[in-house]
Chains A and B, each alone.
Chain A
Amino acid sequence: DAGVIQSPRHEVTEMGQEVTLRCKPISGHNSLFWYRQTMMRGLELLIYFNNNVPIDDSGMPEDRFSAKMPNASFSTLKIQPSEPRDSAVYFCASSFLRTQETQYFGPGTRLLVL
């Protein structure tokens, strides 16, 4: 299996621009997580999907952030408009959620907003 796939791996954009991050989870996994990692705040859960349905979006910072999962093999995280404080590494992770299953992380998207 190829593991969790994320694109792009790096993104540099200017403040105010729209940013779309993409994720393909491991085939057969029914749970998908978006995380943000910064030095200051560590790993933060942004949103959790189960069977393509958003279950918990309490970690989404504000209305500028939105996430979708149109099918079991694809998810997007969108930031519109982007701000410099959004600069971070964004990870997508997937798991087959029975009970507290381990999570498999993608390589991440390193986002820099100028």
Chain B
Amino acid sequence: GQQVMQIPQYQHVQEGEDFTTYCNSSTTLSNIQWYKQRPGGHPVFLIQLVKSGEVKKQKRLTFQFGEAKKNSSLHITATQTTDVGTYFCAGPGSGGSNYKLTFGKGTLLTVNP
């Protein structure tokens, strides 16, 4: 079945440093979604990328979708303590299973103030 891998599993940074998490799918994706889960919270949708090579920005967050639509990355510039949490990527299944999101295991980001 479809697999979505994320690296790294954990990342600890000093406030102000940059952070990047990478997502790789075993299959070509029609789109990729990113979610953030704060400690003790629930996953919250951040963004969806659809087009090959697409780049989207949300303030200090930059999201990229690979040309082959099998990988993606999230880059945070100048991290802040409010960025703490686990970042998940998720890809839908193909064909009749497109409702089913396969989530990566996530990257836990901690920020030292």
Contacts and interface: CB of A to CB of B under 8 A. Distances in A.
Interface of A: 31, 42-43, 45, 48, 50, 55-56, 91, 93, 97, 99-100, 102-108
Interface of B: 30-31, 33, 41-45, 48, 88, 92, 97-101, 103-106
Contact of B101 (A50, A103, A107): A103
A87 to B, nearest CB: 16
Contact of B99 (A31, A42, A105, A106): A31
A82 B98 CA distance: 31
Contacts of A104: 45
Contacts of A105: 42-44
A29 to B, nearest CB: 12
Nearest to A106: B42
Contact of A45 (B48, B98, B100): B100
Given A50-B99, A102-B48, A107 B41 contact: yes
Contact of A42 (B30, B41, B103): B103
B27 to A, nearest CB: 14
Contact of B42 (A48, A97, A108): A108
A103 to B, nearest CB: 7
Given A43-B43, A103-B45, A97 B103 contact: no
B45 A43 contact: no
Given A45-B100, A102-B45, A106-B42, 15 more contacts: A31-B99, A43-B88, A48-B100, A56-B97, A97-B99, A100-B31, A100-B92, A100-B98, A100-B99, A102-B33, A102-B48, A105-B42, A105-B43, A105-B44, A108-B42
